[in-house]
Amino acid sequence: MINKTFRFSTESLLPDISLILIEMGYSIPLADHYLSDLINDTLQQVRKHTRVQAGFIMLPKDSIKTQSNILFENRLLFEPGSIIMSQLQNVTSLAVFLATLGSDFDLWIKFVQQIDMLQAFVIDTIGSLMVEKAVDLLEEQISMQAMIRAEKCTNRFSPGYCQWLVDEQHQLFHLLPADFDWVKLQPSCLMTPLKSISGIIGLGKNVIKIPYHCAFCDNKSCYRRLKNRKGQ
Amino acid sequence: MERLLFDLSIAIERGKENETSPYPPDLKGKPGAYEFTSRLLEMNCPPDTILKQGMMPGMDRIGKKFADGIVFIPEILIAAKAMKAAMTLLKPYFDNGAVLRKGKVIIGTVAGDLHDIGKNIVCMVLEGAGWEVFDLGVDVTKEKFLASLNEHPESIICMSALLTTTMREMEKSVTTIKQAFPQTKIYLGGAPLTSDFADKIGADGYFPDPHSLSKHLTGNL
Ligand code: B12
């Protein structure tokens, strides 16, 4: 089983100011935005509060079967629902991943919140973008592994999205490597540190990666759908 | 006086806290909510009028713009800060009963959930709309809601959750509270919630944003 952990540098995850403003809801033009100075100051401090850890475990070749559910060594592993399953056809292995910014980041937000809610919100937004970026980098690493094995990858999927119940975080956490022990899954399925993302990517020789779009899913209130509608 | 009350409402809406505050940049060096409120008090404007005709309209306008997607969370936070600054001057009048709040609200993010930015925004908007808010924080158990309600039995309850798993915790809390205090109104919010869910678990409503809740609460007075 391939098991890789990365300590991406904070710098490699830092979003630029315009991305942060767009994430907050603003649209172009963004030059000279009144929050730019505050965002800039905050970006300077991020490194002190971040301990990025991102990694994945790749289940053995041919250990996975997919039909209406995901079977691992012929036992039920995940039931992500029909939307995700339609994208996981021909998958024969899975990469199970986790990325986190560490607990200091949460403490930083908590601390600043008592003094300045606006800056706390800026930090919160930066954190969400950074952990998403860490997953982007992980995805690249997983694709590289797939290439070495002459396999292809599906999109990434996370419990809690596209009808996949967040309860299945429990099964996912069972598979994570031991160096993620310090990331805790609460009985409510909330991960601590808060700025964490978990998920899976399917692999296989005959996998077809379909560009993901919201028509696959019927969740009208999902933020990705709302964002796409705004043209962002 | 009328003009000053209007200026105060604009200072709050635009998030101009005081003369030295950096936001919004186009009002740099100009007086803010703090200065307008102290001038109004010097002119013997009744504090209740300052609250209801100066501060609350400002907060109300920015809350509506947020609900309509015209402004975003930062503008709400800046406005709430300006409101808070002005409120410090009114505190003695709240304490001596010269200014009355609309009522009491107990709010918390339900057990198992630690998200609090959304809930904090709701607190700020409700305070700005004239409610006395008791924020129980995050990971609030049904027992904690009940204990607070025992202390302030006339309160409205607001609950927030960000995960579908913690929505289930809401159901338990709503059932427990309604058993002990059937008259207490309970309102819900948070990204994965819906009106259907609120109805199903016996809550009194779901609101997608703080302004729509505030409008509903004021309409019910
Ligand atoms: C940013 C974000 C993240 C960030 C950070 C989360 C954080 N805040 O720390 C990251 C990327 C880390 C993340 C991770 C995950 N996320 Co996420 N995330 C979001 C997102 C896009 C925004 C959340 C946010 O901060 N919003 C800003 C705040 C201000 O908004 P808010 O809390 O909703 O509050 C507003 C309103 O809801 C309302 N409100 C809130 N409470 C109340 C109460 C009352 C009474 C009223 C009237 C109004 C009200 O007023 C507020 C102001 O308008 C939401 C989608 C969305 N549309 O909200 C998903 C969302 C919350 N995430 C979701 C999921 C599933 C996850 C993960 C489990 C995915 C995974 N498997 O890794 C993880 C869990 C993380 C963990 N620690 O366990 C789901 C949760 C639903 C579910 N299925 O359970 C959502 C809803 C996305 C979706 N599928 O639509 N997430």
Both structure tokens of B92:
């003695």
Mean pLDDT, residues B66-73 taken together: 92
Q: How confident is the model at residue A212 (pLDDT cuts 50, 70, 90)?
A: low
Q: What is the pLDDT of residues B137-170, one digit of tens each?
A: 999 999 999 999 999 999 999 999 999 999 989 9
For residue A47, the CA-to-ligand 1 centroid distance in Å is 24
User: ipTM of this complex > 0.90?
Assistant: yes
Mean pLDDT, residues B198-208 taken together: 96
pLDDT at B1: 83
How far is Cα of residue A215 from the mean position of the Cα atoms in its chain?
A: 21
Ligand 1, pocket residues at CB < 6 Å: A 128, 131-132, 158-161, 166, 190-191, 194-199, 222-223; B 73, 115, 117-119, 121-122, 158, 160, 162-164, 187-192, 207, 209-210, 213
pLDDT at A228: 57
* Set of chain B residues whose Cβ sits within 8 Å of the Cβ of A183: none
Interface touch A190/B81, C-beta < 8 Å? no
* Set of chain B residues whose Cβ sits within 8 Å of the Cβ of A189: 163, 165
pLDDT at A231: 44
Q: Beta strand A53-58 with A93-100: parallel, antiparallel or unpaired? A: antiparallel
Q: Where are the beta strands (DSSP E) in chain B?
A: 103-109, 131-135, 156-160, 186-189, 205-206
Interface touch B124/A166, C-beta < 8 Å? no
3-state secondary structure of B135: strand
pLDDT at A57: 94
**Residue B177 pLDDT more than 70?**
yes
More confident residue, A4 or A132: A132
Parent domain of A24: 2-229
**Residues on chain A bordering chain B, Cβ-to-Cβ distance under 8 angstroms:** 24-26, 34-35, 37, 113, 117-118, 120-122, 124, 160, 165-167, 186-190, 192, 194, 221, 223
- CA distance linking residue B174 with residue B188, whole number of Å: 10
pLDDT at A232: 40
Domain limits, CATH 1.10.1240.10, in chain B: 2-95
Mean pLDDT, residues A213-228 taken together: 59
**Residue B124 pLDDT more than 60?**
yes
Total-model pTM: 0.94
* Set of chain A residues whose Cβ sits within 8 Å of the Cβ of B21: none
Residue to probe by mutation, ligand 1, list B162, B177, B211, B215, most atoms within 8 Å of CB: B162
Q: What percent of chain B clears pLDDT 90, i.e. is strictly above it? A: 85
**Residue B220 pLDDT more than 80?**
no
* Set of chain B residues whose Cβ sits within 8 Å of the Cβ of A118: 74, 77-78, 81
Mean pLDDT, residues A112-118 taken together: 93
- Looking at chain B, how many residues does it have? 221
pLDDT at A210: 77
Q: What is the pLDDT of residues B92-110, one digit of tens each?
A: 998 898 888 899 999 999 9
Interface touch A221/B74, C-beta < 8 Å? no
pLDDT at A71: 92
Nearest CA, atom 72, ligand 1 = A197
**Residue B51 pLDDT more than 90?**
yes
Q: What is the pLDDT of residues A29-64, one digit of tens each?
A: 777 888 999 999 999 999 999 999 999 999 998 999
- CA distance linking residue B40 with residue A11, whole number of Å: 50
Interface touch A221/B111, C-beta < 8 Å? no
Q: Which CATH number do you get for residue A77?
A: 3.40.109.40
Contacts of A178 (CB under 8 A, 6+ apart): none
Per DSSP, the residues of A174-199 read HHS-GGGTTSEEPTTS-EESSSEEEE
Q: What is the pLDDT of residues A13-32, one digit of tens each?
A: 999 999 999 999 998 777 78
The number of distinct structural domains making up chain A is 1
Looking at ligand 1, which atom is closest to the CA of residue B165? Answer: 84
Q: What is the pLDDT of residues A123-182, one digit of tens each?
A: 999 999 999 999 999 999 999 999 998 999 999 999 999 889 999 999 999 999 888 989
Interface touch B194/A26, C-beta < 8 Å? no
pLDDT at A26: 92
pLDDT at A127: 97
Q: What is the pLDDT of residues B31-40, one digit of tens each?
A: 999 999 999 9
* Set of chain B residues whose Cβ sits within 8 Å of the Cβ of A165: 164
The B residues from 118 to 147 touching A (CB cutoff 8 Å) are: 120, 124
More confident residue, B55 or A211: B55
Work out the mean pLDDT of chain A and round it to a whole number: 90
How far is Cα of residue A135 from the mean position of the Cα atoms in its chain?
A: 5
In CATH terms, B2-95 corresponds, of 3.40.50.1820, 1.10.10.10, 2.40.50.90, 1.10.1240.10, to: 1.10.1240.10
* Set of chain A residues whose Cβ sits within 8 Å of the Cβ of B111: 188
CATH T-level fold of B104-219 = Rossmann fold (3.40.50)
Q: Which of A24, A26, A188 sits opposite B163 (nearest CB)?
A: A188
| 8 Å CB contact between B169 and B113 | yes
Minimum mean pLDDT range among A221-225, B151-155, B174-178: A221-225
Contacts of B203 (CB under 8 A, 6+ apart): B159, B170, B174, B186, B187, B188
Domain limits, CATH 3.40.50.280, in chain B: 104-219
**Residue A227 pLDDT more than 90?**
no
For residue B191, the CA-to-ligand 1 centroid distance in Å is 6
**Residue A187 pLDDT more than 50?**
yes
In this structure, what is the dihedral angle of CA atoms B71, B106, A121, A112, given to the nearest 10 degrees? 140
| 8 Å CB contact between A70 and A21 | no
| 8 Å CB contact between A207 and A164 | no
Q: Is B189 left (phi over 0), alpha (psi -120 to 50) or beta?
A: beta
Work out the mean pLDDT of chain B and round it to a whole number: 94
Interface touch B117/A221, C-beta < 8 Å? no
